[in-house]
Amino acid sequence: GAGVSQSPSNKVTEKGKDVELRCDPISGHTALYWYRQSLGQGLEFLIYFQGNSAPDKSGLPSDRFSAERTGGSVSTLTIQRTQQEDSAVYLCASSLDGSGTGVSDNQPQHFGDGTRLSIL
Amino acid sequence: AQKVTQAQTEISVVEKEDVTLDCVYETRDTTYYLFWYKQPPSGELVFLIRRNSFDEQNEISGRYSWNFQKSTSSFNFTITASQVVDSAVYFCALSDLSKAAGNKLTFGGGTRVLVKP
């Protein structure tokens, strides 16, 4: 597809269950990011993948959150033992190489429609 | 630490009025990028503009214009002759160019713009 694709678009689950959110980035984009958008916290960075490098997990709020990216393309964000405070919209973004340090780098990130997660 | 402040939480205007959205940022880095994104009711974040810290020229794109002032750490956004389709939440964001940061974005809290017909 032309844009970043996320699934499911909506997910409702009971507290304590595990959930998996999927992101399919734009073809050719080597950088992939997960963000969370919630009423109280705004838009927060969660995790960043760049090619085969170790991911930057500095934004993950707890060890219940994890993510992987297989084959440098599709990524899955997993939340274990969900809590009500995990309710939010989870946004995925991708960009061309995000590892550059020159002024010609820092390519814009293109976002998917997000997954709206509701924990009952 | 980086920080982006959008002091206006909501702005309501009548169609054809101009509207200016304020963005003030904090960073210790000398090189960085600033962005504006639009989030319409459908929810998808739409990229509008990227500006690097070395380029302080103002930019105009159609009815949109941006005023970057490094001296005041501001990157304001103006919509001229607003239209109902401009109704959305607008986010200002900042990223630095350090390799470790991987260009992750620090967002402001967003400004909701409501354009009434």
One digit per residue, pLDDT tens: chain B, 117 residues?
Answer: 789 999 999 999 999 999 999 999 999 888 889 999 999 998 889 999 988 888 888 888 899 999 999 999 999 999 999 999 999 999 999 987 665 556 789 999 999 999 999
pLDDT at A53: 82
Taking the CA of residue B112 and the nearest CA in chain A, the distance in Å comes to 13
Share of chain A above pLDDT 70, in %: 92
Taking the CA of residue A117 and the nearest CA in chain B, the distance in Å comes to 14
* Residue A40: band (very low, low, confident or very high) from pLDDT cuts 50, 70, 90: confident
B44-59 CB burial, b ≥16 within 10 A, e <16: bbebbbebbbeeeeee
Q: How far apart are CA B5 and CA B76, in angstroms?
A: 11
pLDDT at B97: 65
A106, A107, A111, A117: best to mutate for the B interface, most B CBs within 10 A: A106
Question: One-letter amino acid identity for B94?
Answer: L
Q: How far apart are CA A98 and CA A2, in angstroms?
A: 19
Neighbours of A80 (CB within 10 A): 14
Of A42, A89, A103, the CB nearest to B31: A103
pLDDT at A98: 55
Cα A117 to Cα A46, B27, B88, distances in angstroms:
15, 32, 22
Q: Which residues contact A109 (CB under 8 A, 6 or more apart)?
A: A31, A33, A93, A94, A95, B47, B103, B105
Phi, psi at A21, each rounded to 5°: -115, 140
SS3 of residue B70 by DSSP: helix
Q: How far apart are CA A48 and CA A9, in angstroms?
A: 21
* Residue A100: band (very low, low, confident or very high) from pLDDT cuts 50, 70, 90: low
**How do B74-79 and B64-69 pair as beta strands?**
antiparallel
Averaged over A1-16, what is the pLDDT?
92
With CA atoms as reference, report the closest residue to A117 among A63, A57, A64, A55. Answer: A64
List residues in chain B touching A: CB distance below 8 A.
31, 33, 35, 37, 42-47, 50, 52, 54, 91, 93, 95, 97-110
Contact at CB, A111 and B99, closer than 8 angstroms: no
Predicted confidence (pLDDT) per residue in B64-85, tens digit: 999 999 999 999 999 999 999 9
Q: How far apart are CA A23 and CA A74, in angstroms?
A: 6
pLDDT at A110: 93
Predicted confidence (pLDDT) per residue in A56-74, tens digit: 898 999 999 999 998 879 9
* Residue A103: band (very low, low, confident or very high) from pLDDT cuts 50, 70, 90: very low
pLDDT at A104: 46
